[in-house]
Amino acid sequence: MPEPRYVVDTATGVLTPARQCPSPNCDPRPPDADIELLVLHGISLPPGEYGGSAIEDLFCNRLDAGAHPYFESICELEVSAHLLIDRSGRVTQFVPFTERAWHAGASRFRRQTVVNNFSIGIELEGTDTSPYSDAQYTALGAVASAVIEAYPGITARRVAAHSDVAPGRKTDPGPAFDWQRLYDELGHRKRA
């Protein structure tokens, strides 16, 4: 099956052909905020388990607290990301890029605070210590290339880990994430 070519509509902030699943956990970006950072996250719900709808349910405020003991501690959170790339490489968009997703929390990138104002957040289904899948790297390379093309303020030097913008508070996507592989994907796409 050929890899999809992702395209960002900068007027609407929609990535096609990503699956759309709107989250209520977003709000307008400040009027003077330029999109100039890509933040990569790792998530699995319950921790260390893959598949199912728990991540989507969390981002859409419908996580069942009784479905797993861990969910009791997070079911009231109002969080989201712009995109989720699951283990199979499927891309789901929860928040248009024109809006502010609630993904980074208390954060700083270089001298700028409130990273959500000027960033796009991408969640990868995974853990800090388990390798991410080949399909995820392929999809991430394609998506990141489309985002960089649409928002020139984002460059390879402006792609950060959640742990970079929230050090001491967050550790994802963790040591299992292969940054060189992402850079290779981006470089390959740039030459193609």
pLDDT tens digits for range 102-145: 999 999 999 999 999 999 999 999 999 999 999 999 999 999 99
Residue 85 has pLDDT above 80, yes or no: yes
**Cα–Cα distances in angstroms (integers) from residue 110 to residues 28, 36, 157, in the given order:** 23, 12, 12
Collapsed DSSP state (helix, strand, coil) of residue 99 = strand
What pLDDT is recorded for position 1? 58
Q: Which residues pair with 93 in a beta bridge?
A: 20, 83
DSSP string over 91-158: EEESS-TTEEES-S-S-EETTEE-GGGTEEEEEEES-SSSPPPHHHHHHHHHHHHHHHHH-TT--GGG
Q: Is 3.40.80.10 the CATH number for 7-45+80-191?
A: yes
Largest Cα–Cα separation, the chain: 49
Q: What residues are annotated to the active site?
A: 123
Whole-angstrom distance, CA of residue 43 vs CA of residue 55:
8
Mean pLDDT in residue range 9-15: 98
Q: What angle do CA 39, 42, 43 make, to 5 degrees?
A: 130
3-state secondary structure 25-88: CEEECCCCCCCCEEEEEEECCCCCCCCCCHHHHHHCCCCCHHHCHHHHHCCCCCCCCCEEECCC
What pLDDT is recorded for position 3? 77
The amino acid at residue 72 is E
Whole-angstrom distance, CA of residue 133 vs CA of residue 29:
32
- 25-48 residue pLDDT tens: 999 999 999 999 999 999 999 999
What pLDDT is recorded for position 6? 97
- What pTM does this model have? 0.96
Q: What is the CA 139 to chain-centroid distance, rounded? A: 12
What pLDDT is recorded for position 192? 54
- When the pLDDT of each residue in the chain is averaged and rounded to a whole number, the result is 95
Whole-angstrom distance, CA of residue 60 vs CA of residue 78:
8
